[in-house]
Every structure is written in C-alpha cells, then in structure tokens.
C-alpha cells in the first residue's frame, strides 16, 4: 500500500518540489501551506507520515509536533529545515520525531526516512493493539485471579502460590484453570507476556 504523506511547508517552491518527488515515488501526498491549515483538517485525515518545515509563520514545525502530541496524535513526523539548529533538533527528537533533515533535502534521505517512519509506526501500532487486547483480557479476572496470575507469571509453582496466599493447592489449581479459560493459554511464558503487555497499556 502506498504511504500517505502530509507535507506542511510554507515555501511554495519547496512544497511543490517535494510533493512532486513523493508522488513520483508512488506516495499519496496532501500538501499544506501552514500548520494551521493542517490542524484544521486533522480530524478528517487518514493515518499518515507528516513532513513539516521547522520554521513557519504562526505555528512552527516544533509547535505543530507538540500540539499533535497534546491531542494524542502519534503519527510519525519528519522535520525539515534550512537552519542547522541543534537545540531544535534535540527538541524534535525528544518529542518523537523520526528524522531531522536539512534543506536542500536529499531525495534518498527523505524517502528512506519515510520508509523507516512508517515501518516503526506499524510495529508500534501492532504492539499497542496487542497491549490493549491483553489489558482487556486481564480486566476480566477477579482480584484473586490477578494475584495468582502475577505469581504464575513470575514462575511460582502451585504449592508456592498456595502457601503465599494461605489457601490449598487445589484452590490455586482452580484459579489456574479459570486463568486458562479466560486468557486462552496455560503457558507460563504466554501468561507473562500478557502481563507485560497489559502493564504497558496501563502505563500509557
């Protein structure tokens, strides 16, 4: 599937040149003359990679990046600039930018940055979906089942769990059977993986 690119650049000549390059490379491009226009359309747009100039009137590329983060938009972003501003570069990366390219933008570097950005975003989205699913499964558990799950995930044996919770091993076996039914696995490794994913989701 062709990548969808949102190009935010106030210089008309640069905007047209980059848009042509990206379209010629098989990408779907929507170009904006400023960040305000892009933000006004954001709710209607499909997921894509944002390529934005750092120095624009009213809202800079860095300010756009910060506003998107505040709105919960995690689309990958590539910052371009005609100014080698190290502090701006640090801010961009700290806020999650995938790449920081200087003008004139090298064609290969830009295309490679987009490929990297979309690949990383795909992996992150897949991980987020897994984490959400894991959190949903674990929400079905009773408080005692969650206690047992945590101990099982840490590698505790049934007798150890029973002693720690001051119940019979048979009771723990019953809890483990319930865990298997609700979580769909008896594998300790898979149960541990589910707890890790759920923790990631709960910490976001």
Which among 66, 57, 62 has a CA at the least distance from the CA of 33? 57
Is residue 194 situated within a structural domain? yes
pTM confidence score:
0.63
Is residue 97 situated within a structural domain? yes
Is residue 133 situated within a structural domain? no
Instruction: Read off the pLDDT of residues 143-162 as tens digits, 9 standing for 90 and up.
Output: 999 999 999 988 899 999 99
Do 93 and 32 reside in the same domain of the chain?
Answer: yes
CATH code, 157: 1.10.10.10
Is residue 134 situated within a structural domain? no
Do 27 and 96 reside in the same domain of the chain?
Answer: yes
Checking if the pLDDT of 79 tops 60, the result is yes
Rg (CA), the chain: 24
Count how many domains the chain has.
2
Checking if the pLDDT of 100 tops 70, the result is yes
Do 24 and 85 reside in the same domain of the chain?
Answer: yes
Do 20 and 120 reside in the same domain of the chain?
Answer: yes
Instruction: Read off the pLDDT of residues 103-153 as tens digits, 9 standing for 90 and up.
Output: 888 889 999 999 988 888 887 777 777 778 888 889 899 999 999 999 998
Do 156 and 101 reside in the same domain of the chain?
Answer: no
* Domain extent for 151: 140-202
Helix H or strand E encompassing 111: helix 107-139
Mean pLDDT of 65-73: 86
Do 104 and 164 reside in the same domain of the chain?
Answer: no
Do 148 and 101 reside in the same domain of the chain?
Answer: no
| Domain limit, last residue, from 81, 103, 126 | 126
- Report the pLDDT value the prediction gives residue 83, as an integer from 0 to 100: 65
Do 23 and 114 reside in the same domain of the chain?
Answer: yes
| Domain limit, last residue, from 126, 148, 182 | 126
| Domain limit, last residue, from 94, 126, 158 | 126
């Amino acid at each position: 599937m062709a990548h969808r690119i949102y190009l935010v650049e106030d210089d008309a000549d640069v905007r047209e040149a980059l848009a042509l390059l990206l379209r010629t490379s098989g990408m779907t491009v929507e170009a904006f003359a400023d960040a305000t226009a892009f933000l006004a359309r954001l709710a209607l747009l499909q997921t894509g990679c944002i390529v934005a100039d750092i120095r624009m009137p009213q809202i800079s590329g860095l300010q756009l990046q910060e506003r998107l983060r505040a709105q919960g938009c995690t689309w990958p972003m590539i910052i371009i600039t005609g100014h080698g501003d190290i502090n701006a570069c640090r801010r961009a990366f700290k806020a999650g930018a995938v790449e920081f390219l200087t003008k004139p933008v090298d064609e290969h570097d830009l295309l490679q940055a987009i490929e990297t950005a979309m690949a990383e975003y795909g992996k992150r989205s897949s991980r987020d979906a897994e984490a959400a699913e894991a959190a949903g499964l674990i929400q079905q558990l009773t408080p005692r089942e969650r206690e047992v799950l945590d101990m099982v995930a840490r590698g505790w044996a049934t007798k150890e769990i029973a002693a720690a919770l001051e119940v019979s091993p048979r009771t723990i076996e019953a809890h483990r059977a319930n865990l298997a039914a609700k979580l769909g696995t008896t594998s300790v490794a898979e149960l541990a993986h589910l707890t890790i994913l759920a923790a990631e989701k709960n910490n976001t």
